[in-house]
Amino acid sequence: MSFDVRAVRSQFPILSEIIDGRPVHYLDNGASAQTPDAVLDAVRTYETTGRANVLRGVHRLAERATDAYENARTEVATFLGVAPMEIIFTGGCTAAINLVAYSYGSLLKPGDRILLSELEHHSNIVPWQMLRARAGIEIDMVPVTVDGRIDLEKLPELITPRTKLISLAHVSNVTGAMVDVGTVVAAAKTVGAKVMLDGAQKAPHGPIDLPALGVDFYAFAGHKAYGPNGIGVLWAKAELLEAMPPFMGGGSMIGRVTFAETTWAPPPRRFEAGTPPIGPAIGLGAACKWMRALDWTGAHAHEMMMVQHLMDGLQKIDGARIFGPAGLQNRYPVVSFMLDGVHPHDVAQTLDSFGVAVRAGHHCAQPLMDRFDLDGTTRVSMAPYNDRSDIDALLTGVRHAAKTLR
Amino acid sequence: MSDQLYQEQIVALAKARTGAGKLANPTKSARRDNPLCGDRVTIDVRLDGQGKIAEIAHQVRGCLLCQASASALSSIAIGRDAVGIAAARHEAERAVGREEGGAAGPFAAFAPVAAHKSRQECVLLPFEALKDALS
């Protein structure tokens, strides 16, 4: 049976909105995805029937809140194929990477090396530069091929015995290319380095089998994965979390506090200081459960059909060029393009007048833009609820921009 | 909405590219980046003995609005000093709705930007670069 996109769309209230007389063609999912009823309902249930702080209260509302919060942790763990106690709720994907850079980073010695790639989001570059300034570590960078993939052929020459961590985007937020994780993990093992993946653009496309990937850290954002804002996830192997010191201090993350000395709670609480984002975590748990129930074989085929339709359409527009893989293999539905003679922001602004939402600019990947001397790109990022009418509306808008703005 | 934004006057200003390029021997130069969108403006000026602009040139790596603004700014800059450029900036600020009142001169073309708050910085970036060059 083919993928029923209408059934998926019907679960997202915003997709039936009419804004300024136009339907919503939402193709900015890479920045923030929309949210289904299942998530909205879960958050509303918490806020209206179980709102309280977690962990410390003995009253019934506190118990409901704690149960819902810990169930959310279990849902996220199931989504990633790991143990709940290895799941840390953070404020977002950026916060998760910063947690690793600060906490795992504090275990590194001057001269130790971190390996990143040229296509990383700033959130997987800047925390390491800050660590470099604090701790004297070194940063190496894997270059990118002309079709927007991390050039893994260069890995062996960049890995050294001092390489302690390789941290890469699982899927590029600019080109949609997926990294070959097996090759990265195998290379890391030759020197005993750990591997972290920034899963911000991968998690929204279905459950992930982390044990099969063989990585050590994984981070993703709730709001890009159909969940609420203000919530993200860090997963790390239990033995790594055990060895890592806290990132932030405060309530909930302690064993015992005296003015002389404080001991730490075990993970995951060690890394969840203060009142966590309870409602958002519950919403993200619901989003993971919603994603697990979706037919991802059908959804991925549907997404790739849209990518092909988009590429075919862009090819027919004079001066439109795709930046990223030309094929459908090992890629996800994030497609960047340039329109010669028209700045990406002007393309995006024109598309808005057609009811089409996309992102334009450097996509928080300025080193990648510099490498290819780009002012920016226009980025189309899709979700399973998008359909051909969204792509058709976009192509109409791009043709209009090409005709009127150059 | 955007069809109204990209009106003929704005597109014409951008296409005119008034002052586009570099000066061989600038008295001063300045570059400004907009970290949010990545737009970049570099402005060269040659000043006369009174601190007035005798020649101006700009390089814009940015959107049509930024290009149009740099073009408009170059068209009125000759003979002005920092105070005169500040006055022109008020025209631009009025045009995009950041200040009360209507705008005159080439900046009146930017009136449609008033409805697009996220794009107003695109219009003002060349002024920021020129302000730095004159400071």
SS3 letters for chain A?
CCCCHHHHHCCCHHHHCEECCEECEECECCCCCCCCHHHHHHHHHHHHHCCCCCCCCCCHHHHHHHHHHHHHHHHHHHHHCCCHHHEEEECCHHHHHHHHHHHCHHHCCCCCEEEEECCCCHHHCHHHHHHHHHHCCEEEEECECCCCCECHHHHHHHCCCCEEEEEEECECCCCCEECCHHHHHHHHHCCCCEEEEECCCCHHHCCCCHHHHCCCEEEEECHHHCCCCCCEEEEECHHHHHHCCCCCCCCCCEEEECCCCEEECCCCHHHCCCCCCHHHHHHHHHHHHHHHHCCHHHHHHHHHHHHHHHHHHHHCCCCEEEECCCCCCCECCEEEEEECCECHHHHHHHHHHCCEECEEECCCCHHHHHHCCCCCEEEEECCCCCCHHHHHHHHHHHHHHHHHCC
Kindly determine whether residue B6 and residue A20, on different chains, have CB atoms separated by under 8 Å.
no
Work out the average pLDDT over B84-100: 94
Residue A56's pLDDT is what?
80
Whether residue B1 has pLDDT greater than 50: no
Left (φ > 0), alpha (ψ -120 to 50) or beta: where does B64 sit? alpha
Interface of A with B in 13-52 (CB under 8 A): 20
Kindly determine whether residue B6 and residue A349, on different chains, have CB atoms separated by under 8 Å.
yes
Question: Could you give phi then psi for residue A95, rounded to 5 degrees?
Answer: -65, -35
Interchain contact A201–B (C-beta under 8 A): no
Which of the pair, A214 or B37, is modelled with greater confidence? A214
Residue B104's pLDDT is what?
83
Kindly determine whether residue B61 and residue A405, on different chains, have CB atoms separated by under 8 Å.
no
Interchain contact B121–A (C-beta under 8 A): no
The residue among A339, A345, A359, A363 with the most chain B CBs within 10 A of its CB, best to mutate, is A345
- Is the separation of the CB atoms in A115 and A165 below 8 Å? yes
Q: A99 to chain B nearest CA, in Å?
A: 24
- Residues in A touching B37 (Cβ below 8 Å): 345, 360-362, 376
CB-nearest to A345 from B3, B11, B37 is B37
Interchain contact B3–A (C-beta under 8 A): yes
Distance of CA A322 to the CA centre of its chain: 22
Interchain contact A321–B (C-beta under 8 A): no
Q: What is the pTM of this model?
A: 0.94
Residue A55's pLDDT is what?
87
pLDDT digits (tens, 9 = 90+) for B98-118: 999 888 889 999 999 999 999
Whether residue B23 has pLDDT greater than 90: yes
Interchain contact A396–B (C-beta under 8 A): no
Residue B3's pLDDT is what?
57
Kindly determine whether residue A369 and residue B38, on different chains, have CB atoms separated by under 8 Å.
yes
Residue B38's pLDDT is what?
81
Residue B2's pLDDT is what?
53
Kindly determine whether residue B6 and residue A345, on different chains, have CB atoms separated by under 8 Å.
no
- Residues in B touching A353 (Cβ below 8 Å): 1-3, 5
Beta bridge partners of A171: A178
- Is the separation of the CB atoms in B31 and B45 below 8 Å? no
Q: A115 to chain B nearest CA, in Å?
A: 25
Six-digit token pair at B67?
């290009």
Confidence of residue B119 (pLDDT cuts 50, 70, 90): very high
CB-nearest to B37 from A20, A350, A361 is A361
Whether residue B37 has pLDDT greater than 90: no
Kindly determine whether residue B1 and residue A352, on different chains, have CB atoms separated by under 8 Å.
yes
CA-to-CA distance for B46 and B52, rounded, in angstroms?
8
Kindly determine whether residue A349 and residue B38, on different chains, have CB atoms separated by under 8 Å.
no
Kindly determine whether residue A349 and residue B2, on different chains, have CB atoms separated by under 8 Å.
yes
Which mean pLDDT values do the consecutive 10-residue runs of chain A (406 residues) have? 92 96 96 98 97 91 96 98 98 98 98 98 98 98 97 97 98 98 98 98 98 98 98 98 97 94 96 97 98 98 98 98 96 98 96 97 95 95 98 98 94
Residue A31's pLDDT is what?
98
Q: What is the mean pLDDT of chain B?
A: 93
Residue A57's pLDDT is what?
85
- Is the separation of the CB atoms in A88 and A271 below 8 Å? yes
Nearest chain A residue to B67 by CA distance is: A343
Kindly determine whether residue B38 and residue A404, on different chains, have CB atoms separated by under 8 Å.
no
> Catalytic site residues of A?
364
- Residues in B touching A343 (Cβ below 8 Å): 62-64, 67
Kindly determine whether residue B63 and residue A404, on different chains, have CB atoms separated by under 8 Å.
no
Interchain contact B78–A (C-beta under 8 A): no
Q: What is the mean pLDDT of chain A?
A: 97
Size of interface A-B (CB pairs under 8 A): 50
Interchain contact A350–B (C-beta under 8 A): yes
